[in-house]
Amino acid sequence: MSKTAKSRGWISVPVLLLVVMLGLLLLQQQTVINDHKRFQLATEVLSQNVVWHNAYLALSDLTPSPGGGPSCIGFCSPSVEGWQSKMLEGQRVWLQRKRLSSLSVERWCASFDKKHIKCWWHDDSGAKREMWLTLP
């Protein structure tokens, strides 16, 4: 084998090692970035859960007002009326607690803008449900 063929082989091995090491460093950096993003998302979700939990606790202090009526068959949309405002965590939150006798359920709703609403339904049987609503 000639001298030039041997030297080309020795050049490619260090270059190959350099490429592998660079790839490993980039993989490690991407893992750190992904972990940071995951932590930020978890922190944001946790803070939102705290706000909704505090709204739920504020709703438990309210006295339910009658809602529904003969025109309310099946699902009863939260009305424009009957909201009470309260400051929670430095934000104004709108609360509504209604007793829907025709459905044997009590509906607790909370919103920051009266358009995107989180509601909890407490059935007389003890069942609890929750749902997000978006009003036009």
Residue 80 has pLDDT above 80, yes or no: no
Q: Which amino acid is at 46?
A: L
Q: Which amino acid is at 14?
A: P
| Cβ-proximal residues to 35 (8 Å cutoff; 6+ apart), any chain | none
Would you state the structure tokens that stand for residue 19, as one six-digit string? Answer: 């490429």
CB-based contact 84:99 (threshold 8 Å): no
Q: What is the pLDDT of residues 82-98, one digit of tens each?
A: 788 888 878 888 888 88
- Helix (H/G/I), strand (E/B), else coil: 130: strand
Tell which wins on pLDDT, 63 or 129.
129
Q: What is the CA radius of gyration of the chain?
A: 29
Q: What is the pLDDT of residues 33-44, one digit of tens each?
A: 988 888 887 777
Q: How many domains does the chain have?
A: 1
Domain interval for residue 12: 1-69+78-136
Tell which wins on pLDDT, 50 or 93.
93
| Termini Cα distance of the chain | 80
Residue 107 has pLDDT above 80, yes or no: yes
CB-based contact 81:94 (threshold 8 Å): no
Among 45-54, 108-117, 121-130, the minimum mean pLDDT is found in 45-54
CA atoms of 1 and 55, how far apart (whole Å): 81
Verdict on whether the full-model pTM lies above 0.75: no
